[in-house]
Structure 1
């Protein structure tokens, strides 16, 4: 049986008959995502992985991969590894996956501009923990921690994140 899809609606994210409050990018929704625009891309995105902080939580699923101190995500369009997970030291622009705050304690990866990234089309779209309701992301979709954990335990590799033009 194919897992249910995650569907963004004007009132939150719908999944398995539940609705979860969420926040999207500060740039709103877009059909033409660009690096640094802060927008969340419209479309159908497959779930392709999950990362977690083993020092802050138990493994949420058997296929979740632990995040270590040297783990980074390349967001530099000049980097041959643009929009891929890389390790420190890394000479190009990047984002630390192991952050001091809890935003990336659990990260669900989508296939946005991955695995063969087009430079400038925008780096990763993650599902991750929010700062608070109403505080936008840089383009990702973010949730309350307990909701994100529930979602993580109920998704699979065939789950899709559907973001319609609302």
Structure 2
């Protein structure tokens, strides 16, 4: 009797983000046997995320899709669904509003993030499922995986990597990939 050939192992679907030793706002992102430098929230990491605290939540967060600036970045290879960012796309970060932590269109008066930024941070912006499915008022909004500022300056609670690192990561990502932020 012949043994059945072994199926090729599926690539891991977890990306680990851990604080960089000695740097509260720096992080190391590990995936598929690789490690990349990253930036995290200006307040480091927290298990008690609150709106506006500047911290990155300690949690497993699934990627659900993302946005790309087609006028600045060519569409990278990825199985993750990416949509082009229209000029009027915003993200509501007003915890009192019914559309809190949701994409909205301009004009929109309540507090929001502009998704089509001039600084390039959201040229590729991936949406993680933090506080999305069952939203909690003041539980934190707009927790994205996006492009880092030069020098890996801190974020407002997101995870950010360089553009080359993002392109490497995107080849590995698909809907449901887990970004696990740990201590």
Among residues 14, 19, 22, which one is paired with 1:5 in the alignment? 14
Map 1:126-145 to 2 at 5 A: 126-145=144-163
Distance in 2, Cα, partners of 1:137 & 1:53: 19
Among residues 35, 46, 51, which one is paired with 2:51 in the alignment? 35
Preserved contact between residue 11 and residue 32 of structure 2 (Cα < 8 Å): no
Map 1:1-166 to 2 at 5 A: 1=10, 3-11=12-20, 12-60=28-76, 61=78, 63-164=81-182, 166=183
Q: So what's the TM-score if we normalise by structure 2? A: 0.85
Preserved contact between residue 49 and residue 140 of structure 2 (Cα < 8 Å): yes
What are the ranges of 5 or more consecutive residues in structure 2 without an aligned counterpart? 1-9, 21-27
Q: How many equivalent residue pairs?
A: 165
Preserved contact between residue 97 and residue 104 of structure 1 (Cα < 8 Å): yes
Which of the two has higher C-alpha Rg?
Answer: 2
Preserved contact between residue 3 and residue 156 of structure 1 (Cα < 8 Å): no
Pair 1:66–1:134, CA change in 2 (3 A):
closer
What are the ranges of 5 or more consecutive residues in structure 1 without an aligned counterpart? none
Comparing 103-112 and 56-65, the one that deviates more? 56-65
